[in-house]
Structure 1
């Protein structure tokens, strides 16, 4: 139990900030429920749980205080809180950044809400369930070893093997309380933020259509109080559009990641109702003539694969500084972007990408098996992720599916093929401003905006030989690198999209023979014996890729080691294997327009 003050930690939702909020991170009571007895025994009705866990870290992590790597599919959390006077007079939102995978929430023994989806935020208004004094919040979580649920790189066995790692179950992002008016601003959606200063913002209300007034102030920087543009409009709609022209606009780019602070106020008949703060970057991303154009200028996408994984906390970030440092490491190596792989990362990481200048391909964690229900689960959670993150200027591409994960019969199953195309179409309905890659790596449909290729051919000469004809024709080869999978599905064809090697390199430190026999991972990637050989291989690879005139971008595998995958430019503890400044100099020499 604790009293609440404005936390000193950063707001978990940086694009929707209210000044008054309270963190519920910290020690919670905890229990495994392997017998699934908690519901029938009413554990939600005030029972004290026997263990303690540090939220928001998964029980599999050592930082959580539990540190069990065994599989437990049902777990319970509970804690008592005292709500400050006045916080329950309107609505009181209980926020969860992410809980993997299904969560049921009780307040004082009454059901407050449920959520399914392990990588996206949700909240409930708990004001109706509060009582004076102490209040009991209880969460039951199910995280089944279910191949049909979106699980990304979490191992079905619970043990790291090949490209799969320890599971991240339960609460793994921040939990917080936020007092809000009953009628309030519910969501901000930036619909236009052009380099020429044209800015349009939709304010979605948690309120009926009535007589409202919305006001927007645009401040010249995140740390500035200078107002450079204002807009105000009266509306009878529950969705209000505000438009403004920013004078002397300063476009956002990796080299100049300028952000404007936004303040939005809601009034009713002249009376203040609600306000929030956000921010925006003015920029455009376009595909023209087989190339990416940022703010009207051609740019080479020079990315690293980033899995957002830490030894002691797994998929949960240790803290905000760790998120910031990973962005800085990518920039120190001279990358202008990252492909966040099989993970919807914490919004604070996207904030640092926005603020420090790093372009992002956002990618949905996929299931491992196909069913009609698995399609539905994937689609709903993915569109929620796009809605959450569409305002971030750092995101320059959406990736709903990777390497046909969860869609093993694309060639023979028309329904699976149609689903890929439908995912692209529905992503565009939510956000039409960014390119969408239907199935990153291979087996593309006609809908993909980018032709992405995963190719770990080694030595480099073998990789270059595969694409020798591409230099002349501009067409990628028919057959992909992995298991003979075609780059385009039957009936689809390359239509001049930008070509990106979105996985390449992946040089592993040579393992012991016993490890090599145990894990076939080492059959697919090139091996190096030490850092000197890694430096030589890396230079040779990059020089070879720079010689391919058709290549619009690349993504090197990978930024950090993850478990037994010892192929990072950084170790898992973020120690560089190669001097970052030398790698950055190489990048600048080979791709001056990156």
Structure 2
């Protein structure tokens, strides 16, 4: 295995400790089609029959296996030793994402269970460890490949991908790692930026808080090495919220607010002491920015913001949902910037936190979107809601995220137009998301058949410039059933929200020997350039549109409607696309 694919970067870059161990790399692996693993105690002293490279799923080439046939129960095993500098502390085992249901054993003891294929989970495994010996970590992952009520995103329920659906992912597909902590430590912080008062609200959560100890958290905020604030609080409960004034000047272009043009970030260092003894050090960062709608205008930092976004499905050659390297994630963000987009819509995928790290640091706004199911059931509602809560909580602190999209194009709610239960679910997801996060905008059902939403978002793959401009120059025609779907369902109507075209383009163009499909086709390079120019120019020339999301960043498997091919090679020069996005036609 090429060491460049080890994926050994720190997996949680916004809440970082120094005492940690990457567990990616070679693991034992076995399919369990007969469902005998638990009965035969594979979590005990049993060797599995093959090897896999974690965090790549078995369907991917980079896993070392690379087969697309369904195996819905798989097992992993790895021997792990605790480094000397981590001994004597509590050990937390972390999984970035395991698709779909997981059980974890440590030395034969059940340590964790989790349901949800796109969100992280962890367990304190200290009591199960043999500190002076190697330890067996065993994972069972169960997928449900043909269940269309499962929150799955673009993973197909057939073994071979086709149309808009792609190769499935089963098992571990994001990083696995351990960290060492003292019993009383900082378990979470949440950031609430307030640019109007020039304050950052911080909610602290301390694990194993006790009123019998003097527990304090020191917060040191700096900007490019300059200390902005240094404050200490006594924790009088396990969860507290404080506001810190930032003594900065933030006007006339001299400010330190976060935006795609100026991705300013504040560094934070937290130090926890218990009765005067330091027990924890965590490094983090935040961005000061405000997302709002003012007088029908989409605003960033109290100024109108024309969102120029590209749809990104987050699939990678060789890795499927898992990027081959951190550099590959960074490169995608750099390409988005180089093409003149200021935003990216992660489509039907809760992306690796390292991608958000690069968006935060390089300056790309993000639409955070769930991986949806395809059909509705009450069981789906429970599974999806739990996973979405975990997703919002995981990414809450990323300043680049401006918009949450729990549902897209009525996926999971195909009968929302006529089914009150499904309308209630869409409304519930809107209000649930707002209750979890008051700092961002929420779209109830992106593309069409909205209930209550902060933005009016439309999907329309019309390729003709004149038809697009004419349709999206008047409210009445804009609301006239694009893609044969009503923009709003019964009981809801347009009420002055900013209108954005959140899927359009989709122009297919074959480069090389790759064949596939798109929503409309270009015959050659010059024709592709003309068609991309026409649809983007229509967005600028419309009197209603306040932003757009072009479909799509890259080709994906059989889809060839990317601005880049699957290997991230441009189909036309990046500078040409940048000119279009800057209104230079």
**TM bucket normalised to smaller:** over 0.9
How far apart are the structure 2 equivalents of 1:195 and 1:322?
A: 37
Relative to structure 1, is the Cα distance of residues 193 and 316 closer, same or farther in structure 2, using a 3 angstrom cutoff?
Answer: farther
Deviates more, 1:262-271 or 1:66-75: 262-271
Q: What is residue 576 of structure 2 aligned with on the other side? A: 582
* Of 264-273 and 428-437, the range deviating more from structure 2: 264-273
Does residue 461 of structure 1 match 2:466? Answer: yes
Aligned to 1:106: 105
Question: Helix, strand or coil for the counterpart of 2:93?
Answer: strand
Distance (whole Å) between structure 2 residues aligned to residue 296 and residue 217 of structure 1: 27
- How far residue 430 of structure 1 moved from its aligned partner, in angstroms, is 0.9
Partners of 2:529 and 2:7 lie apart in 1 by 42
What are the superposed Cα offsets for residues 93-142 of structure 1, whole Å, 9 maximum, x if unpaired? 00000000011000111101100001011000111101131110000000
In the TM superposition, residue 205 of structure 1 has moved relative to its aligned partner by 1.1
Q: Which of residues 552, 555, 558 in structure 2 aligns to 1:561?
A: 555
Checking the alignment, whether the CA contact within 8 Å between 2:97 and 2:175 is kept in structure 1 is yes
CA drift of 1:476 comes to 5.7
Q: Tell me which residue corresponds to 2:526.
A: 532
Match 2:259 to one of 250, 253, 264: 253
1:216 aligns with one of 199, 215, 219: 219
Structure 2 partner of 1:499: 499
CA distance in 1, matches of 2:286, 2:101: 32
Deviation, 1:458, is 2.8
Deviation at 1:510, TM superposition (A): 6.2
Residue 24 of structure 1 corresponds to 23
Q: Against the structure 1 CA distance between its residues 77 and 459, is the aligned structure 2 distance closer, same or farther, given a 3 Å change threshold?
A: same
User: Structure 1 residues 195 and 46, CA, compared in 2 at 3 Å: closer, same or farther?
Assistant: farther
Whether 2:156 is the aligned partner of 1:150: answer no
In the alignment, is residue 162 of structure 1 matched against residue 163 of structure 2?
yes
Q: Write the mapping of 1:382-401 to structure 2, written as runs, cut at 5 A.
A: 382-401=388-407
Q: Tell me whether 340-349 or 129-138 shows the greater mean CA deviation.
A: 129-138
User: Which whole-Å deviations, capped at 9, do the CAs of 1:473-495 have from their partners, x for residues lacking one?
Assistant: x456343322x211000110001
Separation in structure 2 between the aligned mates of residue 425 and residue 59 of structure 1, nearest angstrom: 37
- Write the deviation string for residues 167-204 of structure 1: whole angstroms up to 9, x where unpaired: 11110000001011111111110123427631111111
Alignment of 1:59-98 (within 5 A): 59-85=58-84, 87-98=86-97
Q: In 2, are the aligned partners of 1:457 and 1:481 still within 8 Å (CA)?
A: no
Deviations 1:204-241 (A, max 9, x none): 111235242111000113xx3x3221121223111122
The total of aligned residue pairs comes to 569
Distance 1:284 1:240, change over 3 A: same
Partners of 2:540 and 2:583 within 8 A in 1? no
SS of residue matched to 1:208: coil
**SS at 2:578 equivalent:** helix
**Matches of 1:189 and 1:394, distance apart in 2:** 15
Distance (whole Å) between structure 2 residues aligned to residue 589 and residue 342 of structure 1: 29
1:95-494 residue pairs with structure 2 within 5 A? 95-131=94-130, 132-145=132-145, 146-194=147-195, 197-210=198-211, 211-221=214-224, 224=225, 226-249=226-249, 250-445=256-451, 447-468=452-473, 470=474, 474-475=475-476, 477-482=478-483, 484-494=484-494
Is residue 475–residue 494 contact of structure 1 (8 Å, CA) maintained in 2? Answer: no
Cα distance in 2 for partners of 1:408, 1:359 equals 29
What is the deviation of 1:88?
A: 4.8
Q: Give the drift of 1:531.
A: 1.8
Distance in 2, matches of 1:537 and 1:200, equals 46
* Displacement after TM superposition at 1:86 (Å): 6.1
| Residue 552 of structure 2 corresponds to residue 570 of structure 1 | no
What corresponds to 2:3 in structure 1?
none
Shift of 1:27: 0.3
Residue aligned with 1:589, SS: coil
Unaligned runs of 5+ in 2: 1-5, 250-255
Cα distance in structure 2, aligned partners of 1:490 and 1:121: 37
Query: Is the alpha carbon distance of 1:274 and 1:572 closer, same or farther for their aligned partners in structure 2, counting shifts above 3 Å?
Result: same
Counterpart of 2:289 in 1: which secondary structure?
coil
Change (3 A) 1:329 1:8: closer
CA displacement at 1:529 relative to structure 2:
1.3
Q: CA deviation at 1:283?
A: 0.9
Normalised to the residue count of structure 2, the TM-score between the two structures is: 0.94
Matches of residues 517-528 of structure 1 in structure 2 within 5 Å? 522=518, 525-528=519-522
Q: Distance in 1 between matches of 2:334 and 2:221?
A: 27
Mapped to 2, the partners of 1:37 and 1:264 lie a distance apart of 47
Deviations 1:38-72 (A, max 9, x none): 11111111211111100000111101100111111
Q: Secondary structure of 2:470's partner?
A: helix
- Partners of 2:429 and 2:529 lie apart in 1 by 39
* 1:52 pairs with 2:58: no
The CA distance in 1 between the partners of 2:74 and 2:7, in whole Å, is: 29
Given the two structures, how large is their TM-score scaled by the length of structure 1?
0.93
Once the 2 structures are TM-superposed, how far is the Cα of residue 393 of structure 1 from its aligned partner? 0.6
Matching residue of 1:4? none
Contact in 1 for aligned 2:7/2:326 (Cα 8 Å): no
Q: Which runs of 5+ in 1 are unaligned?
A: 1-6
Relative to 1, partners in 2 of residues 1:87 and 1:203: Cα closer, same or farther, differing over 3 Å?
Answer: same
CA distance in 1, matches of 2:210, 2:80: 35
Q: Distance in 2 between matches of 1:319 and 1:566?
A: 23
Q: Equivalents in 1 of 2:574, 2:168: separation in Å?
A: 31
More off after superposition, 259-268 vs 331-340: 259-268
Are the aligned partners of 1:263 and 1:277 in contact in 2 as well (CA < 8 Å)?
yes
